[in-house]
Structure 1
């Protein structure tokens, strides 16, 4: 049975943020880069707000990666029987939170670089560069994990983020 998991706002913010992050990582660092950086930060803040008031599966209460959920999920992976989650699995939830934090930190460091108070200072640019490298690494891990888990579990996770539908395994535990 298929169930609607990702509402239109989750999917639009996900793909818009993904597109902007890719553009800003590999495109020119000009005024468009700065504008898109602020837009993506705004989208991340809006998605975080949606985590409190949004649809059932978009809410943090549906997928917050607690320590016990993380360890239980890791044990299921180690036993080669990954637990099914209608919403994010605990590792996916942790990655989402980490990516949002990195994106917000990138926006702040980019803004700091433009302040007169830090004109000529190297550290804001260095922090911005290291944060962008961290985002690149996390994006690669995120995409690789989505592809790997799609094959391993037989559930098209990337397709679910396009259509909004996933299968309902019927065995999911309430968080």
Structure 2
């Protein structure tokens, strides 16, 4: 087993703060409350910080490190289909697609949520419906993300949740490694 420092503290704090904020707003806060709004603003602020960090942050935090291409996505799907274990130190191509999906979806949720607080869009049905559809899509995406992380951890032998807590990926020596 080889240990690789991968996730810097900002990436890890962002990830878990986002988990808490999204869970709070999706499961616990009253959608009509000020707390729901403020948690939403905090989530948008976190996403904004992550977008900046994606440009200037540490190597594996930068978007340039994990922009997926059709070829890399197909390569990961082929690895999964054939049982080949190739570990990516940073995000996998499919993981990168999920990250971009979640970041964009959270921004759209924030935008529609904000719109619902303005005089111009307060009570406008399509804005409220868009907000609800986007939240539903985010919830589906989160479940898919969790299932994929569990599956990839099992498939590759790398404990991905532990890596997002510690910042260190421990990779089996028999696993092909893509940096």
Interval containing the TM-score (normalised by the shorter chain): over 0.9
Tell me the residue number matched to 1:4: 5
User: What SS is found at the alignment partner of 1:84?
Assistant: strand
Partners in 1 of 2:45 and 2:88 — Cα distance?
28
Q: TM-score, normalised by structure 2?
A: 0.92
User: What SS is found at the alignment partner of 1:172?
Assistant: strand
Does the aligned pair in 1 maintain the 2:87–2:178 contact within 8 Å? no
Partners in 2 of 1:144 and 1:38 — Cα distance?
28
Backbone CA RMSD of aligned residues: 1.4
Does structure 1 residue 143 correspond to structure 2 residue 143? no
Instruction: From the two aligned structures, give the one with the greater strand fraction.
Output: 2
Runs of 4+ in 1 over 2 A off after TM superposition: 167-174
- Select 2:111's aligned residue among 104, 108, 132: 108
User: What SS is found at the alignment partner of 2:120?
Assistant: helix
Partners in 2 of 1:127 and 1:167 — Cα distance?
41
Equivalent pairs counted in the alignment come to 174
Following superposition, the deviation at residue 82 of structure 1 comes to 3.7
Does the aligned pair in 2 maintain the 1:5–1:57 contact within 8 Å? yes
Partners in 2 of 1:53 and 1:75 — Cα distance?
32
Unaligned runs of 5+ in 2: none
Partners in 1 of 2:116 and 2:85 — Cα distance?
43
Does structure 1 residue 165 correspond to structure 2 residue 159? no
* 1:86-144 Cα shifts (integer Å, max 9, x gaps): 00110011101100111000000000111101233111111100000001100000011
Tell which deviates more after alignment, 64-73 or 3-12: 64-73
Q: TM-score, normalised by structure 1?
A: 0.94
